[in-house]
Structure 1
Amino acid sequence: MRFEDILFLALKAVLAIYSPVQNPRVDSFHDLAARYDSGANYLDACNKISKSIKSRDYSTEIRVNPDTTYKCLKSTPYDAVKARSFIDEIKKYAATQSTLAYLKGPPEGYLMPAVDIIGEFDSILRKVYNSHYDFNVAVAKVFTATYDGHFRIKLCSRQLSFTRRELSLVSFANDSYSVPRVYLRQDTKDNYVPSPVYLINRENAESYIKKYSLLSGRFHDPDTLYNSMFNTIQNTLTRPFAGLIINYPPSVYEPYTNVTLNNGTTIIYDTVATVNQPALWTSINNTESFMETFCVNSSRFDNTTSNEPTPPPTDPTPPKEAPPVLTQLQGYPKPALPFYLPANFAGYFLNSISWEDIAVLAVRSFDDDDDIIAPNKYITYLTKYFKYSRLQSKIKLIIDISGNPGGVSDLSPTLFSYLFPQVPLRSYANRRTTKLFDLLSNIASARLFAVSDLQRSEYNYKTVVKPDQSRFATFGEYFGPVEAHNDNFTSAVGLFDLVEDIPSYLSDDTQPFAAKNIILLSDGQYSSAYATFYELIKTFGGVKNIVVGGRPDYKPMQFVGGTKGGLVRSFTPHFDSAISDARDIVETFGLDISAIKGGNDLVNKTVGDSVVPIETGKLPFQLAGREGNAVNIYNAFQVDPKDRNLKRDIPLQFMYEKADYRLFYTKKTVLDIEKHWARVAETTWGNGACVKEAT
């Protein structure tokens, strides 16, 4: 961090050395690539990074010069042949995304622009790129254009990341009636009167953050995207470092951020670049070795496909020591019961005489390493926590799901069933029908017990339930197809099997809290499995909700800003395994593959010419990470609690659903979670004011 304009001028003078452009102005979203593209020599940039980290401690974050990082990435050569083959294969995965037709022609109420995903991929193939990095940016933009956290990809350029700016911001209002302003987090001390941030890179701060947030594609709601740019306590837990995130891969590179406060103070924050898998950099001495190590599957790209997937390269970095067991989340009070689950799920009591009858269940995530026993672990904790709450005369409950990215899909109906044990569950979903889905489903349904992993596969109609929990009689009854929104889908299915998915855990059917004594709290940043929970608790439980933050206006805000898709599936292991299992069935049971529609594509194929994608380990270009490449395969729909014939033609992902109440953060609540909860209690059960125009 450097203060005052004299240092700013000095910095600009230094940066000018790298470019014939003198004293470049750092306007918002000004593409500074032109500074480097005019005569700058990139070819040695990757080698410079390799040399600079060889003596570093690999167990810590490895920071490198961001300008050199950018040059290294821009030096990567573009291979049009491999790029075409890569896009051809990615399109096969993208074809299974359930929302393609709705994205192309969004229904009224959807707040984001329309996008033709397959058409955008085709458009990429018609262009020539200056570098492989530019190609990566183009591919990433297609995924982020969906604003769907279930539809994602991690490309090889992630080995070098423009991670963040060392700029930590918060947004809060001075009272319940004024709109929020942006402030530096470091200025929110109790007795200090902070000056609002006026400009960021010479643009109005709020406008800059609004536009910048749209680049991430993480959420489908603009208010939620705006919230995601700030370092509240909830956001700090999910990204423990401070800083305004730079979206990856950045279509615009800004080496520093110029912040001007209302009082005239100017502060400059550097961009931070980091290295992933640093141990693999020991063999890198130029751009070509960078590509061979991180990007090109050169040894595997032979235009053929074997039946065995090739594992991704391993990182020889020595394993880190296990982190210490958490007893308390940073910035959170001591839990009412100690953690023996992951710290993302814990119960608290409000430490306030005014609200001594209130319990708080903070659910940071539904994630767990063991999907099989996870529901029972969570239920064990809930049973003890709610029993202890009753003993302590707690009759009201705040469920704080701020920043919840989702997780194990079975946990959302499990939690709802615990809160409302006498309420029957319903869910309604469908899946886009594709040639790949048709092929895998036909094979999986041919032999129920052929492969253990397929005994309860979503590709086997015999193990899929209807919304009323009955079974499909034939494959045709399940597959359909049913036409909707100019596309084809399966018949309606239930998102969860109440016999198989929901454990028997209750010793009685006592409801722990009355619906009027429960309030659901969020900052909009929650998705996936918890969006399912929201639909259940709102529709069947009749529970009200409060959303906090958002853009600086008095308009309504959606409670769920993240993906409301029914189910996410990764390229690997899901699709790789499903295709491998289908081949095993064909070989083990001697199925006549020629009699199955598209069957020959499963056995004999070359890259790009069939409906079956090649294994991810054999793609022309490497993908970074296993779970980071995924699609949403189920559309989830609204369900009528009285089981009437509710019109179900718009997936929840595209429905605008405003929150019951909206609050702005204040200086006291933005960084104090207990005061935040107390204000929610006052608004719900007391005389606290909310944003009236938003209700």
Structure 2
Amino acid sequence: MRVSQLPFLIISTLALLQKASALRSSSTTASNACAALASSYGAQQATKTPTFKPSAVYACLQEVPINNTLAAQQVEWLETYLQFHTTTVYLKNPPPTYQPLAVDLLEGMKEIKTKALAGQYTSEYDFELALYNLIVRGRDGHLVFIPWLVGNFEIRRNVELVSISSDGVQAPKVYFYSDVQANISGNGTIIPSAVSKIDEDDVTNRLIALGYDQRYQDDDAQFNMLFSSPIAIPGLSFPVLGAFTQGLFAHANDTTSYIFENGSRKTIANSAFANLDFGAVTSGQYLFDNFILNTPSTSTNTTASGNSPSGLVTLPGYPQPVAGALSPGSSVSGYFLQDANDTAVLTMQTFSPGSYSAQLGFQKAIREFLRACQEQHKKRLIIDIRQNVGGLTNLVYDAFGQLFPNQKPYSATRLRAFDGANLVGEVLSNLPPAAETQILQKLAQQGGNIGTMPYFGPSYSQTNGTSFPSWAAFYGPTDVYGDNFTHVGAYQLSNSTFTAPLTISGATTNSNSPPQPFTSDNIILLIDGTCQSACAYFANLLMNQASVNTVAIGGRPNTNPMAVIGGTQGGEVLSIGTIQLFIGITQKLAALSNDTRLIAKVNQSLSPFVEPPPIQPVSLNSVTFNVRDNIAKGDESQTPLQFTRTPQAGCRTFYMAGDVLNVTYTWDRVAKGMASGGKSLCINGTSTSNRSSSRNSSSPNGT
């Protein structure tokens, strides 16, 4: 069986989509295409990972029948949970600062339900794809719905692409990764020629169009995600394949054609994979009856934004880290540059190290690295957060506290207010001591803490630091932008009960922290626009509060400034599995109270949220929602951060050939270029400040 990379596709939004209208059948026709696929699967299974022609998979998917009644119920089931999502009204009528097109999720679901009941979908797959594409239009990495058929089949173009500039300043061109790799490795017989067309379309236009169907809000971030990445992601093969190469099954083209600038052409076969044991499948009806209806939706009930492997493993393609500066799972690591020997590099692949205890390893690795930086008198620091898709907020605040121990990080967050959320918050916010201890232990097993329960009132204070006297005082609700929300609150970072297993470093807890290791002027945040979720909050703290420099790399072949953050800036993502965990706790606490009124109210109001799906998605953790908004300091409109104008990087450069195989090449280039004010590095020749007028962190003394 092929090991699926679906979890990464969900977290980092590497799903490559095309419009449903682009789906086409080919000459592959069969009265029982699924049985033919099963036969091919069995013939290949003993010797290799089974692969198929995409058209053969598409023919099978079209044989999977649709139950129109269940399809309509599936839409209603999803609508129930959409109540937790915070930005539905903003997506319908976005402010002018929001770049993507508007999407009315509720109206779109209504249309899909109407079509299903009218019998206008010819297969289960067509229905699933319509619902999937609607959710993708939300362009939010926290808003995810992976239907069973869409998620259990993958398609791969058997070519990896890279976007390369000759000097980092001139507009880049698109090349085959294999050609660039061979040329760099010394194979002089291979002279890379740039791709000029893909499937007869201009290469740039084609790639930009493909990028629009990802869950990023910035076009440059989407463009970067299409290419093979030099960034090692813990738990995945290296190099990481771009979204052009691999994705969920959303087109049925058996080949992709390429035309090169030197006039040559190549037509390369695409492949499709099934992430299930296909051997027993006899028909589309069999798939529907035995998988889609009867597959249990597994749930790990974790609030983290992904998992990383445990253990100390040096990242492939990276140099040896500084002693002690490698966390379990390689989620964070530190390096000293040899060429730019006054510069250190802190790489942060994720804020989700994978386990409760690994969070302590994350904290320790940063502490040991910064200690070594001071001992070795390093002057400059590059913080590389490329490809970081988020994780746990307590790690964000701790990392910021270690870098800027004299500052208290600002936080402002809120929830969507509706009856179900209010009831969960009311019960969970009044936990008896014995129950609180049990819940703390259960959450610790899942890699979280009680502060990761968004409906636990005591974990919030007012933004001025004073406590809310009760859940009701926090809940409100307040009417903002035509919807109901809680009051804006701040995280209780000074209370280790809410940040366990960490005690947050720095001014938040008045801990005896080492002095600030680097001045703001000597810190460079290296980004590719793909930062989102907890990573986005970290970037916002570094830019808006600490006023560090920023360098963006890659993006579309133009000279426009590039946004620092291209992904969602939502405050917390919850899967349906985790929502059901919290609701289950609420129901048990209500039952223990012996309060008949409360028990009846909980059972009546919350029972819809524990109903199983009429049609199975890939898992309950493949359906997620943004349940907390982050709000900028001083924003009286309370606009969620992802709908505000994201700061642009002070310097933008393009990838060069040397960057493809060696991250040290990139770090050295950025270090030397920024030391000279951006000359020969930035596309406009100089680095401009994107920093706020507040300079209270520009020196180690916080002055």
Shorter-chain TM range is: 0.7 to 0.9
Q: 1:536 to 1:59 in 2, by over 3 A?
A: farther
Distance 1:400 1:76 in 2: 45
Distance 1:29 1:475 in 2: 44
What is aligned with 1:520? 525
Deviation for aligned residue 1:445: 3.5
What is aligned with 2:653? 663
Q: 1:77 aligns with which of 60, 65, 77?
A: 65
1:628 correspondence with 2:615:
no
What is aligned with 1:157? 149
What is aligned with 2:588? 584
Unaligned runs of 5+ in 2: 1-17, 301-307, 441-449, 506-510, 689-703
Distance 1:341 1:33 in 2: 43
Aligned sequence identity (%)? 25
Matches within 5 A, 1:465-480: 465-480=461-476
Distance 1:385 1:242 in 2: 30
Matches within 5 A, 1:7-156: 33-36=23-26, 41-54=29-42, 61-127=49-115, 128-156=120-148
Q: 1:231 to 1:249 in 2, by over 3 A?
A: closer
What is aligned with 2:331? 344
What is aligned with 2:280? 283
**Partner amino acid, structure 2, of 1:114:** A
Deviation for aligned residue 1:394: 1.6
Deviation for aligned residue 1:631: 0.4
* CA offsets 1:43-93 (integer angstroms, 9 cap, x no match): 522222323333655897442332221111111111110011111110111
- Give the stretch that moved more between structures: 584-593 or 125-134: 584-593
- Give the stretch that moved more between structures: 322-331 or 575-584: 322-331
SS at match of 1:70: helix
Deviation for aligned residue 1:294: 2.1
Deviation for aligned residue 1:602: 3.4
What is aligned with 1:16? none
What is aligned with 2:194? 196
* CA offsets 1:15-62 (integer angstroms, 9 cap, x no match): xxxxxxxxxxxxx979565545x9x74552222232333365589744
**Partner amino acid, structure 2, of 1:342:** G
Distance 1:434 1:377 in 2: 38
- Give the stretch that moved more between structures: 450-459 or 628-637: 450-459
- Give the stretch that moved more between structures: 381-390 or 78-87: 381-390
What is aligned with 2:262? 263
Q: Is the 8 A contact 2:148 2:616 kept in 1?
A: yes
Q: Is the 8 A contact 2:569 2:641 kept in 1?
A: yes
Q: 1:86 to 1:202 in 2, by over 3 A?
A: same
**Partner amino acid, structure 1, of 2:273:** T
Distance 1:479 1:435 in 2: 11
- Give the stretch that moved more between structures: 462-471 or 518-527: 462-471
Alignment coverage as a number of residue pairs: 626
Deviation for aligned residue 1:336: 2.3
- Give the stretch that moved more between structures: 151-160 or 138-147: 151-160
What is aligned with 1:369? 354
Q: 1:492 aligns with which of 474, 483, 488?
A: 488
**Partner amino acid, structure 2, of 1:269:** I
Q: Is the 8 A contact 2:54 2:272 kept in 1?
A: yes
Q: 1:591 to 1:248 in 2, by over 3 A?
A: farther
Distance 2:299 2:655 in 1: 45
Q: 1:628 to 1:313 in 2, by over 3 A?
A: closer
Distance 1:533 1:168 in 2: 31
Distance 1:683 1:432 in 2: 45
Distance 1:255 1:235 in 2: 30
Deviation for aligned residue 1:593: 3.4
**Partner amino acid, structure 2, of 1:227:** N
Q: 1:41 to 1:65 in 2, by over 3 A?
A: closer
Q: 1:446 to 1:328 in 2, by over 3 A?
A: closer
* CA offsets 1:119-168 (integer angstroms, 9 cap, x no match): 11111011121110001101111211111101102211146423321111
Q: Is the 8 A contact 2:389 2:532 kept in 1?
A: yes
Q: 1:596 to 1:663 in 2, by over 3 A?
A: farther
What is aligned with 2:663? 673
SS at match of 1:677: helix
Q: Is the 8 A contact 2:298 2:621 kept in 1?
A: no
Q: 1:92 to 1:162 in 2, by over 3 A?
A: same
Q: Is the 8 A contact 1:360 1:400 kept in 2?
A: yes
* CA offsets 1:238-259 (integer angstroms, 9 cap, x no match): 5646465367555432221101
What is aligned with 2:383? 399
Q: 1:33 to 1:149 in 2, by over 3 A?
A: closer
What is aligned with 1:220? 217
Deviation for aligned residue 1:524: 0.9
**Partner amino acid, structure 2, of 1:367:** S
**Partner amino acid, structure 1, of 2:147:** L
Q: 1:384 to 1:244 in 2, by over 3 A?
A: closer
Distance 1:409 1:59 in 2: 45
What is aligned with 2:253? 254
What is aligned with 1:462? 458
TM-score by length of 1: 0.84
Deviation for aligned residue 1:496: 5.1
SS at match of 1:359: strand
Deviation for aligned residue 1:105: 1.0
Deviation for aligned residue 1:362: 1.0
**Partner amino acid, structure 2, of 1:215:** D
Distance 1:152 1:76 in 2: 23
**Partner amino acid, structure 1, of 2:158:** E
* CA offsets 1:509-543 (integer angstroms, 9 cap, x no match): 41111111111001111211111111111122111
Q: Is the 8 A contact 1:430 1:490 kept in 2?
A: yes
